[in-house]
Amino acid sequence: MINTPRLFASLIFIAIAIYLVIDTWLPARDDLQRGEAKVTNIISQPNTSWYVVEMTTSNGAQITCRSKRGRPLAGLNACPLEKFERLLGQSVSVMHDGKHAYEIMAGNEIVIDHSTHRKAQTIAIILAVLMLTMAVLVWRRR
């Protein structure tokens, strides 16, 4: 006889683990493009405290990242708003996949570092392994 509550709890842990891995998945560094982009706009999202920073590359691709004022970076598509306000209208060196920026440099200053994304991905993978372990322990509990 299957114990439904334990099965349900295990499936929730598995779903969380899958979400953590998929949400933090990064393209390989070799698959990313490096080029110049101009910080063109900072748009305030209506009825929220979120901002969207838009950058346009030399070939016309639109790259965006989200931010909140005074908040630390949370997520892989986040950017430090205070730094981008100073860069509005200026050119930056950006490593991107055509939609999202993974590393941005303004002169010698690193605005967003690719290794920060890798650290977040590593933490998410560790949490995913813990979630899978919890799923097994809950399922096998007697």
CATH (domain of 67): 2.40.50
Residues 6 or more apart in contact with residue 16 via CB below 8 angstroms: 128, 131
pLDDT over threshold 50, residue 1: no
pLDDT at res. 50: 84
| Residues 9 and 54 placed together within one structural domain of the fold | no
pLDDT at 19: 92
- Are residues 54 and 43 in contact, defined by beta-carbon separation less than 8 angstroms? yes
Q: What's the total number of domains in the chain?
A: 2
Are 111 and 63 within one domain?
Answer: yes
What is the band of 4 on the pLDDT scale with cuts at 50, 70, 90?
A: confident
Task: Say if residue 42 is in the same domain as residue 68.
Answer: yes
Phi/psi of residue 74, nearest 5 degrees: -135, 105
Q: Quick count: other Cβ atoms within 10 Å of Cβ 76?
A: 19
Render 17-75 in DSSP notation, one character per residue: HHHHHHHT----GGGSEEEEEEEEEEEEPTTSSEEEEEEEETT--EEEEEEETTPPP-S
Which tens digit of pLDDT belongs to each residue from 110-136? Answer: 888 888 778 888 999 999 999 999 999
Q: How many CA atoms lie within 13 A of 132 on its CB side?
A: 11
Residues 128 and 60 in one domain: no
Please write the tens of the pLDDT for every residue from 30-78. Answer: 888 888 999 999 998 888 888 888 999 888 889 888 887 766 655 556 6
Q: Do residue 80 and residue 108 come from a single domain? A: yes
For 70, the domain range is 31-121
Residue 36's pLDDT is 93
Query: Which three-class secondary structure state does DSSP give residue 116?
Result: helix
pLDDT by residue (tens digit) across 74-95?
A: 555 667 888 888 888 899 999 8
